[in-house]
Amino acid sequence: MVHTAEFLDETPSEISSILAGGYNHPLLREWQQERQLTKNMFIFPLFVTDDPEEETAIPSLPNIKRFGINKLVPYVGSLVQKGLRSVILFGVPLKPGVKDPVGTAADDPNGPVIQAIKALKKNFPDLYIMADVCLCEYTSHGHCGVLYEDGSVNRDLSVRRIAAVAVNYAKAGANSVAPSDMIDGRIREIKLGLMKAGLAHKTFVMSYSAKFSGNLYGPFRDAAGSAPSHGDRKCYQLPSGGKGLAHRALKRDMDEGTDGIIVKPSTFYLDIVRDAAELCPDVPLCTYQVSGEYAMLHAAAEKNVVDLKTIAFESHYGFLRAGARLIISYFTPEFLEWLNQ
């Protein structure tokens, strides 16, 4: 009884200070984790070129290659066998002279994206095929929309052109279209276009709603050859300090009927991921670990600053904690292996 009395005298605050009992065993550490990574959360970016036999490594984007259609199918097949559920396609036209001011090549029926959609659909009927929708990979000026003569974005022409591209991807069989241009009003225009084409009921519109302009897209632009030839994207991608703009963009895209939302980049914008989870609780929330973030983790691992697998898990757990349900990740092939272990 003396013991009980002492115990009661001394303690409530000290009892609650001991947390280690909660995670001193590997199983407990798993129990402490609210949500686990699963293979169905991963969306893998694929760069597709218009030379069918191409297979080229991208020096600034470790382990990622650009594929022509004939090389893409077997590569994707090997990943489907490991449990890949979903890909997002980016077209990379390499043929000289194919780029023009309105990005005609984006939805060329013989161009890389439409060809890839059809080939993947045919070979892997269960794979969920998303197509990034933007003009920058296809325009001679490298901007994401159609421009006025003074170089500023012509919103009306841009959103009409972007909607037409999205509809053509859906017609080719894309399950989802993901506009990454960030030009005002394109979600509404895409939804209307899909409705007119009779495709709205089977096409998931995944909006890059909060996409920030910054220094993290360099390796992607190497891979896609999509750096703007003049100026930058600061008049249509959000300024990195623009929290309020991000909230307004999220709400606007929800009002325009988007089916899903992407916050991009990821690690440097986890507050926005969290805000999006709270502002848009009724749609799947995705974050994109972009090329620059991915390349930085690889660079740090090469310098032995971090261990690649450990840091990859740590970064992706951060996305889950912040509230993301889906992750566009260049680490997808690795996770398909790691999540078996």
Is the CB of 157 or the CB of 227 nearer to ligand PBG?
Answer: 227
Residue pointed to by tokens 């929330």: 285
134 is in an annotated binding site: yes
264 in catalytic set: yes
| Burial track 151-163 (b if 16+ CB lie within 10 A, e otherwise) | eebbbeebbebbb
| 235 annotated as a binding-site residue | no
* Position 13, amino acid: S
Of 147-176, binders to ligand PBG (CB under 6 A) are: none
Subset of residues 291 to 330 that bind ligand PBG, contact rule: CB under 6 A: 291
Q: Determine the longest span between alpha carbons in the chain, in angstroms.
A: 90
Q: Between 119 and 133, whose beta carbon lies closer to Zn ion?
A: 133
Q: CB-wise, 153 or 290, nearer to ligand PBG?
A: 290
By CB under 6 A, is residue 105 in contact with ligand PBG?
no
Q: How far apart are the C-alpha atoms of 187 and 259, rounded to whole Å?
A: 10
Taking alpha carbons only, the member of 132, 128, 141, 127 closest to residue 112 is 132
Per rule CB under 6 A, is residue 144 in the interface with ligand PBG?
yes
Pairing of strands 204-211, 260-264: parallel
- Closer CB to ligand PBG, 62 or 77, in the complex: 62
330 marked as binding residue: yes
Please say if 95 is a catalytic residue. no
Residue 205 and residue 260 in contact, taking contact as beta carbons nearer than 8 Å: yes
Tell me which residues in 212-271 interact with Zn ion (CB under 5 A): 247
Residue 144 assigned ligand-binding role: yes
Query: With binding defined as CB under 6 A, does residue 221 bind ligand PBG?
Result: yes
The least CB distance from residue 94 to Zn ion, in Å, is: 17
Beta strands 65-67 and 55-57: pairing type?
A: antiparallel
Task: For residues 192 and 110, give the distance between their C-alpha atoms in angstroms, rounded to a whole number.
Answer: 25
Enumerate the active-site residues: 211, 264
Residues that bind ligand PBG (CB under 6 A): 132, 134, 136, 144, 180-181, 217, 220-221, 290-291
